[in-house]
Structure 1
Amino acid sequence: MRRLTAEDIQALIRLMGDSDPRTATFARQKLLEAPVEDVLPHLKHAVTDADPLIRGRARLFLEELRLADLNQRWERLASQSDSVLDLETGAFLVAKYRYPEVDMEPYRRWLDAQAEAVAPHIDPSLSMYHTIGLLNRQLFEKAGLQGDDVRYYDPDNSCINRVIDRKRGIPITLSVIYILVGRRLGLPLDGVGLPGHFLVRYSGEETVWIDPFHRGRLLTREDCIRHVRAMGYPFREHFLKPMKARAILARMLNNLHRIYVETDQPLQAEHIKGFQDILTQRG
């Protein structure tokens, strides 16, 4: 079957506004058969069409295609083995749900820039504490990242682009940023999910835990155990072990899902649950 041309796609979009339901359904089905990347640019233009019927149907279809495209991206990511599944790709996919139009490349370059600012000062002879101090200074003093105590349950706090924009976030998103910058520098960083909190683990000459929500505060094993018990949980050794990228992303999605449930946004919650299912069932 030949690939639809731009003219074909534009004509089919207009036919979606036809008063005959069968014609509109036929046009929609033909568009669904076309590659998403071919159709999306034309749909974005159609949502401003002068015809309100075309405009309305194009807007609904655009949302449907965006969701289908995101599902496909999650499928591709989830199909990778845990040894290669990329945390950075997944973190930006989480953000793409709320910000489908936003170009995420500038935010990747921001991560690059933070690492580049620290790199000249990193030396193998430095102690791990000195190295952590350099990264903390860059991210929390110079870049201005901090925990968001005021709007903790804002969905934007689960979106890495908005955390970078606003310089505020929740523990897991700030920790992911810390890890992504640190790994650009070759630092041995991993995510650690405690009950009710998220930390970064630095495995150097000794192991220490870093709390990006509190400006990179350093914690000992005993500090972490006290936190777990203060949350009302018995301590389990696995709480302090590094999490794989898949598990970190699943927790990010779970946070966003819970926010949508608690704010009575069932459709959004259902979409996020779909991404969770893709990610965990393929793992």
Structure 2
Amino acid sequence: MTPTDYLKKLGERGDGPHDIAYAALMLAALDHPGEPIERPLSHLVEISDAMKKEASMIRRVNDGARTVAALLASRLGYDGDRLDYNNAGNADLITVIARRRGLPVALGILYMHAARALGLRAEGLNTQGHFVIRLTHRHDDITIDPFNGGAVVDRDHMPAELKGHDVGLAQTVSDTDVLLRLENNLKMRALDAGKPERALEVTSRMVLIAPRRPELWFDLARLNEATGVLGAARKAYESCLALTPAGQPLYNEASLSLAQLKRRLN
């Protein structure tokens, strides 16, 4: 099965939970055509196997958090890329695995992968500006920061990006949301670099894994229109409208944009 086929099926299954690290690897594989993925794939297996061996020893969620951090940060050397934070490779899991450096969300996906293999519940949080994850075991939970070695996040230990926020009140997000956050980093970097074609490529992947989200279809339509692919833009606007209740602002905006596009096509 090709990466595109896998991601399409993932999108059809809904928001998850998914095999999130494998899904991120398939997204990255689209930017490495023809390259074998056996090495990063075997690395994911190595992580899960190491965690499964420790699973019977975990009694508390704090034990689990320390075990995950000991593997990923201490033994395997994963850490946030502070020297070249905006490098697009920091959101590409193949490159992240090779360099052991990445963005918070990319590292978070690896921490979620490890924690789940350990028997913990692991979920991303909807924090703005800095991605952290919540681990749960039995009735206890803890928030950790994958970008900073899996450090515990609480009122006394708070990343600068989250100062003033109560992380304990942050809502969990789906695996699909986490993958979209990963890809959105690539999209925004492409737009900032003045590369709409690259942004269109990434947005197409986002629609692939989340086909029921009208706002993504709207973004896809806009990018197709901006790059001159007007037929595809029309179809994307129509898909957006089909998923959006009439009268909502997005519906009205998509309707207007589609009408203007049709006048250009006629």
TM-score, structure 2 length as denominator?
0.70
The structure-2 alpha-carbon separation of the partners of 1:279 and 1:112, relative to structure 1 and needing over 3 Å to count, comes to: closer
Question: Per the alignment, do residues 222 and 243 of structure 1 end up closer, same or farther by CA in structure 2, a change over 3 Å counting?
Answer: farther
1:198 has 2:198 as partner = no
Amino acid at match of 1:242: T
**Does structure 1 residue 78 correspond to structure 2 residue 11?**
yes
| % identical aligned pairs | 22
Q: What residue is the counterpart of 1:158 in the other structure?
A: 91
Between the aligned partners of 1:275 and 1:133, the Cα distance in structure 2 is: 34
Give the structure 2 partner of residue 214 of structure 1: 148
**Deviation (angstroms), 1:88:** 2.9
- Tell me what 1:117 maps to: 50
Equivalent position SS for 1:176: helix
Report the Cα distance in structure 1 between the residues aligned to 2:150 and 2:74, rounded to whole angstroms.
10
| Cα contact 1:112–1:184 (8 A) shared by 2 | no
Deviations 1:99-131, CA, capped at 9 Å, x for gaps: 122222322221221233344344356332222
Cα 1:76–1:150 change in 2 (3 A) is same
The aligned residue for residue 65 of structure 1 is: none
Name the CA distance, whole Å, in 2 between partners of 1:188 and 1:150.
31
- Name the CA shift for 1:99/1:118 in 2 (closer, same or farther; >3 Å): same
Following superposition, the deviation at residue 202 of structure 1 comes to 0.8
Report the residue type matching 2:103 in the other structure.
I
CA contact (8 A) 2:24 2:179 kept: yes
* Equivalent position of 1:176 in the other structure: 109
Deviation at 1:269, TM superposition (A): 1.0
Specify the structure having the higher radius of gyration (Cα): 1
Partners of 1:248 and 1:272 in 2: how far apart?
15
RMSD: 2.7
Alpha-carbon distance between aligned partners in 2 of 1:83 and 1:125, rounded to the nearest angstrom = 25
- Give distance in 2, aligned partners of 1:71 and 1:252: 17
Name the CA distance, whole Å, in 1 between partners of 2:94 and 2:141: 30
Q: Does 1:107 align with 2:37?
A: no
Query: How many residues of Structure 1 are paired with residues of Structure 2 in the alignment?
Result: 212
- With 97-106 and 141-150 compared, the bigger mean Cα shift is at 97-106
AA of the residue aligned to 2:11: A
Distance 2:153 2:132 in 1: 9
User: Partner of 1:22 in structure 2?
Assistant: none
TM-score (norm 1): 0.66
The equivalent residue for 1:254 is: 184
Distance 1:253 1:125, change over 3 A: closer
